[in-house]
Chains A and B, each alone.
Chain A
Amino acid sequence: MTYSDGGGGTPGQSLMFAATKLNTRNHRLQWLVRALFGLMTLILIVPVGIILGVLVVRGGPAISLEFLFSFPRDAMTAGGIFPALVGTMWLVAVSLMASVPVGVAAAIYLSEYAADNWLTRVINLAIINLAGVPSIVHALFGFGAFVIFAGFGTSILAASLTLAVMTLPVVIVATRESLQTVPMAFREACWNMGATRWQTIRIVVLPNAISGILTGVILAVSRTAGETAPIMFTGAAFFFPFLPHSVFDQTMAMAMHLFVISTAVPGASDELKYGTALTLITLVLLMNAVSIGFRSYLRGKKKW
């Protein structure tokens, strides 16, 4: 591939813009890299598109107000998903109530207060490791710690706390990174005026980090709503055709329900399974959309 000059000068001048061999090679390479990375992006999007497409096509017809707001019938081979839907909302809400305050506080401590010493480094390492623990291990930990040791029994509380432990690293890492994007000069200016560390955090740091913190919360919500293993032993019931009254009740949950009707209930219609999956994914996307909207609203107000 060569270029015509296009500058329209005299032949002598146009040599100045003629492509050298090196130009041509660089240009080809750049084109190749761009195509390759574009292809990777496409590969990423295709499964998402297929999953959503199949779910909408096959599960769409099942969705109705009746499906969403009625209880399962006929040994879970028919009827709706209402208790699972409500249960998932309970789990998400209670686990966020635990993971967000703890995670944000820990991140503030690590980013704003802690000295850079071996202890902090060990803690950071622990957080990264916690993020890598398989969810079934979290489930067993939650069963031991919350169900048996703390005596919560199999309940929303035990399941939510297990989920909270699992999502904690996500919240901590996102919050810490977002705190660190706030320029040091803002903190110094505030300290120089005689503000304490906490005043500085409250007045300058947190308001400018809030959109990044929300990103962490969004990720936490998605994981909380979608995980099955951690709630299997800790609070999610196979079949519990009542709405939970308190955090000490067991509950059904969307992810668990999908797992159950897909593997353990003979005769459940495909439509029911796809409908449940579609509802779950819609629920997660909806919660994400709300948080993303809120986040971009806050970003729009970003002040520097």
Chain B
Amino acid sequence: MVATDVKLAVRDLNISYGGQRALSGVSLDVHEHEIFGIIGPAGSGKTSFLRTLNRMEIHHKDMTVEGSIVFDGRDISRVKNVYALRRHIGVVFPLPVGLPMSIYDNVALAPRLSGIKKKVALDEIVERCLTRAALWDEVKERLDGLGSLLSGGQQQRLTIARALSQEPKLLLLDEFSIAVDPVTTMRIEDVLKELKQELTIILVTNLVQQARRLADRTAFFLNGELIEVGETEAFFTGEVKDQRTLDYLEGRFG
């Protein structure tokens, strides 16, 4: 393993919803400029983990979080300005959410929120982010069309462009390919491999082959627990510490 900087350090993280445990005692490190894969069956706490990184629990009264998450050297639970924290973290959801506004406005929203008003600057950001999300050529003639009326695959790339417009240091992808066709999925995966040069990516996926294609290291979550973290290639060549990981990877489960 190459020595790398720790971008995100999670220690003893517990998440529960109204007393119901969703995640218990998770500790892991995510390194700078890596794609960190998280795999595991439904209900294993993967999405809850991502939500916590963005401090979403403050919008959900019954969600409680314990433990520490250190992002770029700062404990995020102590960050008062969660809005600034969130600008550094881009999120892509399982189902594409094209906001009901124009394609241009979708991508220009985050820069506008952070105070950029000049049309020239916004134009540049919109073009750059849409290009990086492999969507520019398809929509450049109709930037004032509605983002929510694009096809599913296009909306998902729009969501990625929108996340990139925040110039995030950390990009969270939650099963982004669920509503996307295989060709678009491949295009997005190529984009992610390039983005790795500039930022850190956490990729939650229920396609183990996708984790294998993209992730440098992978964590396996099961029933709200982190079973193990390892080099992705090692996982797939059978070098696992826990039999359950192997069972999951090979589809022998339940």
Q: Which residues of A contact B (CB under 8 A)?
A: 115-116, 185-186, 188-196, 199, 203-204, 207-208, 302-304
Contact = CB atoms under 8 A, between A and B. Distances in A.
Contacts of A192: 54, 56, 86, 89-91
Interface string B54-69: 1010010100000000
Contacts of B162: 189, 193
A303 B86 contact: no
Contacts of A190: 99, 109
A194 B55 CA distance: 11
A298 B152 CA distance: 25
Contact of B95 (A116, A185, A304): A185
A196 B159 CA distance: 19
B207 interface: no
5 contacts: A186-B100, A192-B91, A194-B85, A194-B113, A304-B149
B71 interface: no
A116 B56 CA distance: 18
Contacts of B208: none
A116 B18 CA distance: 13
Interface in B91-120: 91, 93, 95, 97-101, 109-110, 113-114
B148 A304 contact: yes
A193 B97 contact: no
A188 B55 CA distance: 12
B109 A186 contact: no
Size band of the interface chain B makes with A: 20 to 34
Contacts of A191: 56, 59, 86
A57 B162 CA distance: 61
Contacts of B86: 191-194
Given A192-B54, A303-B148, 20 more contacts: A115-B61, A116-B61, A185-B95, A186-B100, A188-B56, A188-B59, A189-B91, A190-B99, A190-B109, A191-B56, A192-B90, A193-B109, A194-B87, A194-B114, A195-B83, A199-B113, A207-B101, A302-B100, A303-B101, A304-B148
Contacts of B89: 192
Contacts of A194: 83-87, 110, 113-114, 166
Given A188-B56, A192-B91, A204 B83 contact: no
A260 to B, nearest CB: 50
What 4 A-B pairs are tightest by C-beta distance, nearest first?
Answer: A303-B100, A194-B86, A194-B87, A304-B148
B113 A193 contact: yes
B110 A189 contact: no
B203 to A, nearest CB: 16
Contacts of A208: 100
B246 interface: no
A193 B87 contact: yes
A190 B110 CA distance: 9
Contact of B93 (A189, A193, A195, A196): A189
B61 A203 contact: no
Contacts of A195: 83, 109, 113
Contacts of A196: 83
B148 A189 contact: no
B106 to A, nearest CB: 9
A204 B110 CA distance: 13
A207 to B, nearest CB: 8
Interface string B141-171: 0000010110000000001001000100000
Interface string B195-233: 000000000000000000000000000000000000000
Contacts of A193: 86-87, 109-110, 113, 162, 166
A88 B39 CA distance: 66
Nearest to B95: A185
Contacts of B100: 186, 204, 207-208, 302-304
A191 B60 CA distance: 12
